[in-house]
Chain A
């Protein structure tokens, strides 16, 4: 009897866990999608018709077994890259991606030079 109860509890916990996982993934994806009809809101934050439909669609796609990347590429096919908050590295965005690295290197170089001067 005890073993039986333990098994039931174990199964319930597991179910709960997998449910929570799919909700987490759902939130992660919708937070990464731009609501195209809103100003500066993610799909997760918005309550517009468009965002609500997208939320349902994302849940459906997760249940169909699509991965996060597959869902992104599905939506990119429909709406273009603009719907993703995470821009890819291409000729339009290389400045965006490389500028922080460049600034970091220049800043680091300045600091190192200063230190060297102080040492001397």
Chain B
């Protein structure tokens, strides 16, 4: 009687573990928990790259327009790759591009823009990466689609043609 009971229990445990592991096999191993984030733009102020003054975030995104905040850096190779797409997007009248220069040397940043063109209406300077954290970003490049002081969508990593088309569709 007792041995039967133990057999049953060990079989049950084996089955449970087998089931869990089997389920686990099919899951992707990149763990990314779903999060409910605050979509409001952060309250913060920033200095600007080419103008010698501070500006509040609330003053930047105030008009009824779409905004794309792009976090970039001159040392970031993927930023160089997505720059052409940003130049293309900046021709669109419905969206304003705002740059956030991340942990960069100011001279290198200016050189980068001279070489590849400047798609941004304003460029904020983030010397120590604090502002990127205020936005909830983890690195460069990263882009935020903003409408009426709210972040509609967040793009981690460089933009590509598909994402650009998606943005264009969203703002139509």
Contacts and interface: CB of A to CB of B under 8 A. Distances in A.
Instruction: State which size class the interface on A falls in.
Output: 10 to 19
B138 interface: yes
A78 B134 contact: yes
Nearest to B33: A82
Provide the main secondary structure of the chain A interface: helix
B125 to A, nearest CB: 14
Contacts of A65: none
A50 to B, nearest CB: 5
Contact of B37 (A37, A60, A78): A78
A56 B128 contact: yes
A81 B138 contact: no
Contacts of A60: 130
B132 interface: yes
A77 interface: yes
B132 A78 contact: no
Contact of A53 (B35, B38, B130): B130
B33 A81 contact: yes
Interface string B43-79: 0000000000000000000000000000000000000
Contacts of B138: 36-37, 50, 79
A86 interface: no
B128 A53 contact: yes
Contact of A50 (B32, B37, B38, B129): B129
Contacts, number: 45
Instruction: State which size class the interface on B falls in.
Output: 10 to 19
A49 interface: yes
A57 B133 contact: yes
Interface string B20-48: 00000000000011011110000000000
A52 interface: yes
Given A56-B128, A57-B130, A78-B134, A49 B35 contact: no
A80 B129 contact: no
Contact of B129 (A53, A78, A81, A92): A53
A56 B103 CA distance: 13
B128 to A, nearest CB: 5
A103 B21 CA distance: 20
A75 to B, nearest CB: 8
Interface of A: 36-37, 49-50, 52-54, 56-57, 60, 77-82, 92
7 contacts: A36-B138, A37-B139, A49-B129, A78-B133, A78-B136, A79-B136, A80-B35
